[in-house]
Amino acid sequence: GNFGSIDGDSAAAYRYTEARLARIATELLADIERETVDFAPNFDDQRTEPTVLPARIPNLLINGSSGIAVGMATNIPPHNLREVAAACIHLIDHPDCTVRDLMQHIKGPDFPTGALIYGVDGIVDAYEKGRGRIVMRARATIEERDGGKGEQIVVTEVPFMVNKARMIEQIAELVREKKITDITALRDESDRDGLRVVIELRRDAIPQIVLNQLFKHTQMQSTFGAILLALVNGVPEILNLKALIRHFVDHRHRVVVRRTEHDLKQALEREHILEGLKIAVDNIDAVVELIKASPDTETASARLQERFALSERQAKAILDMRLARLTGLEIEKLEQELTEIRARITDLRDILENEPRRLAILKDELNEVAKNYGDERRTEIVVGGSDLSIEDLLADEEMVITISHDGYVKRLPRTTYRLQRRGGRGLQGMETKEEDWVEHLYLAQTHDYLMFFTRQGHCYWLKVHEIPQAGRAARGKPIINLLPALRPGDQIAAVVPVRDFRDDQYLMFATRSGVVKKTALSAYGNVRVVGVNAINIEAGDELIDVRITAAGDEVILATRDGKAIRFNEADVRPMGRPATGVRGITLCDEDRVIGMVVVPGRVAAEGDGAAEPAAAETARTLLVVTENGCGKRSRIGDYRLQRRGGKGVINFRITDRTGSVVAIKEVAPEDELLLVTRNGVVNRQPVNQIRVIGRATQGVRLMALDPGDTVVDVARLLPENADETAAADEADAADVEDARLAPAGGAAGPVSTEDDIDDE
């Protein structure tokens, strides 16, 4: 075609090319014949050309301009006609307005290829300073592929001046060089209906991250270096937006003045002729006799001028007048035209003497042009920073993060697991090898930091969105691939989701041998790729849990053999990162700490005050779960507040049927639980189905286990809505709703004894 293509095809050679003006181009030439602009000789002095076009539209802003001269360049982006017209009118009405005021009308450039502009900082710089870096991005959507084969990225608009074919080549090169490994297919499906480039992804790929990589490495993201340089009275100047619009408004004002002066001149000349014709009509007999008596035209003209005080032009008009003009009707038309032309002269003089009227005419013309040729904005402006991080493209939603014993990690939306009643079979939450099992389960938001603490006391950081999202039954990816600085043989002990590293919060560490340590959270705010030493771990010990605490909170440590201690977090003084810590609980024989709960001070006070069973059912409680799927809830007040370092009190009555304690959680009645087994089975159930009973009891069955399977971890969920409980699987709970495990002596029902262990 004559104009080339977006794929880089050049325009046709000039001998095959037609030049046909679009309808709007006539607005650039409007009134050029009415002496509105100056003309100068062309390059060879054979003709004249306008030094500037009258231009009823601000073409320099609407179409943009790009060019290089001696030592300087201009690069003005195109804009939306309606927006520019509105800004011009605003400047006419408010001469003292600022650039920011004009930006209420002109939001930013409007490129013919559409796409997106990210951030307004570059736009503001261009409009206020005359120079700015505007970031453009392709418009891309993420779609599900047919047959559930994964997702694909579909590009429907590209940045201004980007060659689509070259962009596709860049993507293919990235795939060949394995800089992007999640792309499986690339197709150009563009046709006459529009642009469409399809990028198919692997099933386990994260589309937003792939999209961000494409923005970084290809022309799907490009920049427009705006330079608002223009000639002002023949001198190049870098102008801000207001100056550009002001010069256009002033130019149009001069055009209106010169056009009016031209029209007035023409009207006065016509009035002069009509006045001469009227004199001739009023004295028609004498005029005819005078002309008949004259030997030639020159003599007749001279005699008419002398006899009736006419000008040469008036005399010539009389001599050129046809006899048909002497009829009564024509004489009446002559008088009417003279009246109209005198009224027009009065109006034109009023325009020249009245500046507000001229400006009103200017605004009417701008409105007319915007109405006739204006269209909707094509380029969308996304407010925010132009250098978007990956999380800016991701919804901040709650994720379930699972880590297996062999170090495989994945994330998936919390809603993946359907709600069940307690005692149900559960869903497969991770596909594991026979010698592997799910060991940890955490909840975090997509934009959070995850602080990974290893059993040897090292700390690493990772954004939640950097963990690959996988299917419910997928294994995930090895942590070592996500944390390259992770030391060989070191296993993850705890993960703490953090949004901000605050000075008024602390990290409470607990080790297997009962040591605790408190360090300010801000001490870990310097995120380092290689990680840091978070706590000094002595030989034979290992880190088991890390929690965030604040002033007034309380800490509960639970052991494998069913003991627990509750103490105030203030009992542990703040220490530095390299410190070892102090004694939190004194252990007996081969007992080990299995978990730590941090109870907010307000919740702890409510737990102490809930003396009545009915009140306890609605208060926050402590949940204890054993490896054989048993569990119970107990009032926080059942655990008396002690000083750190004691032996604690009975937390769970351990028997062969219950097995050892594996987890302790602080829960509310509206919460939900996720129970994870060694074989990767996940069970989700509401907390309010677990009755509140004494702390020194054997609890109830929470989950039916396969032979040889054991519970390894528990996570607490906040329900999406109250209706989920009604949707629980009734059949799963039919046989186990009221089941209770007998105590060691064989008596039915939960044991009520609450004997304290000696605190010495």
Catalytic annotation, residues? 16
Closest CA to 607 of 547, 554, 548, 546: 554
Which candidate, 493, 399, 403, 393, places its Cα nearest to that of 448? 399
24 contact partners, CB below 8 Å, separation of at least 6 = 57, 373
d(CA 570, CA 581): 14
Q: Is residue 695 a contact partner of residue 638, using CB atoms and an 8 Å limit?
A: yes
Q: Return d(Cα 475, Cα 430) in angstroms, integer.
A: 6
Burial (Cβ within 10 Å: 0-12, 13-18, ≥19) of residue 730: exposed
Nearest-10 crossing angle of helices 207-217, 164-176: 110
Rounded CA-CA distance 636/639 in Å is 6
Cβ(398)–Cβ(416) below 8 Å: no
| Residue 31 φ/ψ region, left for φ over 0, alpha for ψ in the -120 to 50 degree band, beta for the rest | left
Q: Which of 230, 238, 269, 227 is nearest to 58 (CA)?
A: 230
SS3 content of the chain, % helix, strand, coil (to 5): 30, 25, 40
Measured CA to CA, the distance from residue 90 to residue 189 in angstroms comes to 44
Neighbours of 722 (CB within 10 A): 9
For residue 373, give both structure tokens.
């040729």
Measured from the Cβ of residue 718, the count of other Cβ atoms closer than 10 Å reads 11
Closest CA to 363 of 24, 90, 100, 107: 90
What contacts 175, CB < 8 A, 6 or more positions away? 181, 183, 186
Q: How far, in Å, CA of 440 to CA of 467, rounded?
A: 15
Is-contact 198 144, C-beta < 8 A? no
DSSP conformation class of 309 = T
| Pairing of β 492-498 and β 427-428 | unpaired
Q: Which amino acid is at 688?
A: N
Residues 6+ apart with CB under 8 A from 289: none
Among 79, 77, 101, 74, residue whose Cα is nearest residue 89: 101
Residue 37 identity: V
CA atoms within 13 A on the CB side of 753: 9
Dihedral of the CA atoms 413, 419, 420, 425 (nearest 10)?
A: -20
With contact defined as beta carbons under 8 Å apart, do 452 and 483 qualify?
Answer: yes
Nearest by Cα to 114 from 306, 364, 376: 376
Query: Partners of 183 in the beta sheet?
Result: 201
Dist CA 210 CA 116 (whole Å): 18
Q: In angstroms, rounded to a whole number, what is the distance separating the alpha carbons of residues 493 and 508?
A: 13
Chain centroid to CA 668: 35
- Provide CB contacts within 8 A for 741, sequence distance 6+: 630, 655, 657, 658, 698, 699, 700, 701
